[in-house]
Amino acid sequence: MESVESPEWTRAAIMEQALAFRNGRARFVWRQTATVLADLARAHELVVAEDGKGIRAAHGSLRIRLPAVCPLGQHRTIESYVAALPDSLGLTLIVLLQAGAAALGVVDENTGFVRHKAHKKYVIRGHGRAQSTFLKTRGKSRYGSRLRLQNARRLLVATNARLHDWIEQLGPPDRAFVSCPVRTRNEWFATKPPPPLARDAFVRIPLDVHVPCFAELQRVWWELCRGTVELDE
């Protein structure tokens, strides 16, 4: 899917382009953020949204959802946000964890993924529940369950070991994103060795993530770099 660029982000232009995406939405790449905001400001009075998660028109239904790689953060004015936009994203770490599957990568915006790894382990019971979740509520440990628990631990240990190796080789990333169920995340940070970054260094990926694999890593990276202009009729 190609990004949408427009010299004039008036209501008519927004709707014309949004029709190509349906549901009144137009996408833009993170590098276009300052240009998009400047063009929109010519036709709309823009303000920081009340939830602090985006920018909207002071009057009307226009809303700009900013790229996840360039969040609003602590900025409370559009001017300060635009002034702080980076020239380059540097290195971004992405970790996707689900029961029995992990995909992780370090991506450079200019060269793509400089490191990536996806692996799976047998940890799912016949009814589709992760073994660690089942034992929290019902189960007694038998051979099959012990094997699944061991595999779950091995998956987290292998994930952390690889992350430590990458950071030793490449240095700390400029930002880190994670998609992980709450229970798995607690187990992940309790694993020895723990992840090489603090818990609060990871930003939750604001997307529905499919089964972790390299293709899903690529899709998530594409989405993290895109913002959205939304306009309801």
| Residues, the chain | 233
Residue 13: alpha-carbon gap to chain centroid = 29
Residue 149, both tokens: 């628990």
CATH number assigned to the domain covering 91-123+149-223: 3.30.420.60
pLDDT band at 58, cuts 50/70/90? Answer: very high
Mean pLDDT for the stretch of residues 95-114: 93
**Structure-model confidence comparison of residues 18 and 60, the more confident one:** 60
Res 14 pLDDT > 70 = no
Res 94 pLDDT > 90 = yes
List the chain domain ranges: 11-87, 91-123+149-223
Nearest to 18 by CA among 29, 32, 28: 28
Element (H, E) at 78: helix 78-83
Mean pLDDT for the stretch of residues 1-24: 49
Res 12 pLDDT > 80 = no
Res 116 pLDDT > 90 = yes
Q: In the predicted model, what is the mean pLDDT of the chain?
A: 83
What does DSSP assign to residue 66? P
pLDDT band at 141, cuts 50/70/90? Answer: low
Give yes or no for a contact between 211 and 101, defined as CB atoms under 8 angstroms apart.
yes
- Distance between CA atoms of residues 202 and 198, nearest Å: 7
Model pLDDT, residue 60? 83
Give yes or no for a contact between 19 and 50, defined as CB atoms under 8 angstroms apart.
no
Full-model pTM: 0.81
Model pLDDT, residue 205? 97
**Structure-model confidence comparison of residues 119 and 171, the more confident one:** 171
> Residues 63-89: pLDDT tens digits?
999 999 999 988 989 999 999 999 999
